Every structure is written in C-alpha cells, then in structure tokens.
Amino acid sequence: MEVQEIKQRFGIIGNSPLLNRAINIANQVSPTDISVLITGESGSGKEVFSHIIHQMSPRKHGPFIAVNCGAIPEGTIDSELFGHEKGAYTGAVGERKGYFETVNGGTIFLDEIAEMPLGTQARLLRVLESGQYIKVGSSKVEKTNVRVIAATNVDVYEAVKNGKFREDLYYRLNTVPLRIPPLRDRKEDVYLLFRKFTSDFTDKYRTPPIQLDEEAQQVLINYSWPGNVRQLKNMAEQLAVLERDRIITAQTLLTYIPHETSNRNLPMRLDNQPKEDFSERDILYKVLFDMKRDMVELKKLVADIIEHGGVAANYSNHSQTINQLYRDIELPGNPEAQFTLQQPVNTVNNNSNNNVDAYNITHDAEEVEESLSLIEKESDLIRKALKKHKGKRKLAANELGISERTLYRKIKELNL
C-alpha cells in the first residue's frame, strides 16, 4: 500500500519527509512478526502507528490491546500482563487471565515501556524469545503467540546505561526502530493540522469557521509545540469554542500558548522579574556583607590618602568621602560612634615621609570589636525599624521584609 493511501485510511495529515519515512517503515514491517520499538515525544502519535502496524499485518483480525506500563503499579503489573492463580497474593480471590493470554493471536502495544520494572522486563524478554510465561503464583509454563509493539518517549539507550532498562530487552525490542518526528520538525504540516482540527471542532460544536491572519499563521508555525499534535489539537478546540471573533490574530493566539513555554522560538513579551523574597536570616547576612564591603572600600581609600600624603589639593575630596562613609556605617555595639577627619597637621613637604601623622583621624567613642552574633544584629535591626516608624509594628515589619506576626513573635523572643 502506498504512503498516501495509508494516510487517507488512518486519517494522517502532513507531507513532511520525516513523517513519510516513518509511515513507509511501518508499512514495510507490518507483514512481518518482528517486534517494533516506536520512539517519539509525548503527543506525537505513537499509538496511531501501532494501529497502522496491526491493521496492515496478518493479525488484523486478531485482538489488539494498548497497555500503559507507566499507569500500572509495580506490585500488580506482573498480574496484569501474565495473570495470576487464586491465592497468589493477598486479595487474589480468584484466577485471573493476563493480557498475554487474552490477546493470544493478536497484538499488544506496550506504551511507556521504559517505566516497566526490571523484574517484569525479564519476564517480557522470555515471552519475546520463546513465547512462554508463567502466571503469578503458578509453576506451569504457558504459551502465547502475541506480537509486541513497544513505545517510549525517553532515551531507552540512556536508561540502559543508567541501569534502569535491561540491555538484552532493548536489543530484542529494537529489531526495527521507528522514530516519530516531533511537530517542530514538521513545520510544513502545522497549519494543515490546525485547519483540519478547527474544521472538525467547528462542525462538532456548530460554531462558525475559524481563520488565522498572516501574522498568526507565522506564530503558529514558528512555535516549538512541546506537546506536539496533542497540544495543537487542544488549542484548536479551545479556539473553536471560546473565541467570538473568528478571525484569529497573533495577539489572540499567544494567549492560548502556555506561559511557561511561551518564550520558545517566539518573539514574546517577558514578564517582570519576580521579586526577591528574603527570609530574616537572609536580611541579616545581606546587612553584614554590605557593611563588610563598605569597610573594605574605606580601608582602600584611607590607604590611598596615606600613600599620597601631602597632596593638599585632594584633601577636601578625601575628607568628604571618608566622613560620608563613616556617617553611613554605624559600628555594631556602639551606634553613636562618629568619625571626623581633621585638617592635615602639616601638608608641606610630606611626600618623602608618607606617615599617618599627616592626617589626624579621631573618633568620639572608643572603637570596639565588631560582634558577629546574628541575634544581636536581628535585635538591633528591629529596634531601629521600630524607632524609625515610632513603634508602629506594621510599618516596621514592611521595612524589615517580614510579616507583622513574625515581628511580634521576634519582639517577644528577644524581649525588646
């Protein structure tokens, strides 16, 4: 059967070379009984290809079942696939047939095969190699004639290297690899699919037809479509139901693109950066780091003045800068300490001596060693905030970046 005939029979839309190649591989492998591993991103249409392979095979009149391995709990997946005997485990009140028994002579599609537990993988490998399996709680070997088609949206070879998937099962399943291209690699098919979906949904819900302007078409084609065909179909249904204006603009279309992925391959607006949410400890550390930086700058400036002592022309600038820094920095434990820079004692011919005596730096209070206690810093900050806002706790809490309730608790804890 030709590729175009397969598209018409199974309702496949698109003319991408990658899509045509995938259909051609499915067509060639269908008459055989070998296992097929279908890989592709979520929403790209892997299950559709499993139906193509089954319907075009000699097993087309036999049963077909799709099993999502990721949706079955680890403790029951063996029972689901291979069945169990009565009393095999707690709750097994009767005998149960598994999928490999009920689908005998047909095809079983194991979706999300990479989610299958390692123990179950070993059982599946035996079925693929010999057609034999044993029910849970039984010692009798059963026979089955089932074709297995597996699919996954993860890199199975990477899972093999990480020890999460059996290497022998990987090569047994991967007899014929079939990769379904993501929608972003089929840009020429995006608008065709969108028109098909909107036409179907407007007929279903009896709404007027939908059209995209040229700019909206470009947005549609250039978007990366992380959810692939499933996401495109979902958007088409929303537009068919919700939009009153049936001419869709680019701005309207952008509102239907998920916010967290809206910056992919699209020239879109960027939201403001999120506000920083500091905890109480973060605030204290920030104060300490800012104070340390200012002290380092001050030391560098004083060293520069000492090194170039006697340059009277620069004195006024240095003096003003130092005094400003000292006004901005309040020493811990003695917030009233003030520093002033006196006029040079002798600014004539001091270039050769370069000593500290050229400047007389005095302070009103005795210098004390800086305390690094977070509790003292926290207490000092709260006192200042309360003093600044004349005891109004709500305003003080906003200043500190904490809630009023937290401030009240801190006042009680610190006995302020």
What mean pLDDT, rounded, does the chain reach?
80
Contact predicate 149/110, CB 8 Å: yes
> What average pLDDT does this structure show over 166-189?
92
Residue 207 has pLDDT above 60, yes or no: yes
Domain count, the chain: 4
Contact predicate 156/37, CB 8 Å: yes
153 domain residue, yes or no: yes
Q: How many other CB atoms sit within 10 Å of the CB of residue 72? A: 19
Question: Is 249 in the same domain as 234?
Answer: yes
> At which of 212, 232, 261 does a domain end?
261
Confidence category of residue 64, pLDDT binned at 50, 70, 90 = very high
Cα–Cα distance list, 268 to 62, 125, 183, 218, 271 (Å)? 51, 49, 20, 13, 10
Question: Is 156 in the same domain as 8?
Answer: yes
Smallest Cα–Cα separation from 302: which of 228, 359, 380, 383?
359
Question: Is 106 in the same domain as 32?
Answer: yes
Please state, in angstroms and rounded to a whole number, the distance separating the CA atoms of residues 266 and 250.
11
CATH number at residue 403: 1.10.10
Per-residue model confidence (pLDDT) at position 309: 60
Per-residue model confidence (pLDDT) at position 323: 55
Question: Is 164 in the same domain as 233?
Answer: no
Placement of tokens 């996954």 in the chain = 152
Q: Which of 246-260, 283-297, 311-325, 335-349 has the lowest mean pLDDT?
A: 335-349
Strand partners, 110: 67, 150
> At which of 158, 181, 204 does a domain end?
181
User: pLDDT digits over 101-152, tens only?
Assistant: 999 999 999 999 999 999 999 999 999 999 999 999 888 999 999 999 999 9
CATH number at residue 14: 3.40.50.300
Please state, in angstroms and rounded to a whole number, the distance separating the CA atoms of residues 304 and 318.
9
Question: Is 69 in the same domain as 164?
Answer: yes
Say how many CA atoms lie within 13 Å of 27 toward its Cβ.
Answer: 15
CATH number at residue 189: 1.10.8.60
Question: Is 154 in the same domain as 88?
Answer: yes
Per-residue model confidence (pLDDT) at position 382: 84
Show the DSSP H helices in 103-166 as ranges.
Answer: 118-130, 156-161
Question: Is 38 in the same domain as 120?
Answer: yes
Structural domain for 404, as ranges? 374-414
Question: Is 126 in the same domain as 57?
Answer: yes
Question: Is 316 in the same domain as 410?
Answer: no
Confidence category of residue 306, pLDDT binned at 50, 70, 90 = confident
Q: Name the percent of the chain lying above pLDDT 90.
A: 51
Higher pLDDT, 311 or 75: 75
Per-residue model confidence (pLDDT) at position 345: 43
Per-residue model confidence (pLDDT) at position 88: 79
Q: Cα-atom radius of gyration of the chain, to the nearest Å?
A: 37
276 domain residue, yes or no: no
> At which of 245, 261, 277 does a domain end?
261
Helix axis angle for 187-205 and 228-242, nearest 10°, is 40
379 domain residue, yes or no: yes
Question: Is 337 in the same domain as 398?
Answer: no
369 domain residue, yes or no: no
> What average pLDDT does this structure show over 66-72?
93
Show the DSSP H helices in 76-186 as ranges.
Answer: 77-82, 99-102, 118-130, 156-161, 167-173
DSSP state of 36: E
Question: Is 47 in the same domain as 7?
Answer: yes
Per-residue model confidence (pLDDT) at position 331: 46
Question: Is 345 in the same domain as 386?
Answer: no
250 domain residue, yes or no: yes
Higher pLDDT, 275 or 76: 76
Please state, in angstroms and rounded to a whole number, the distance separating the CA atoms of residues 136 and 317.
89
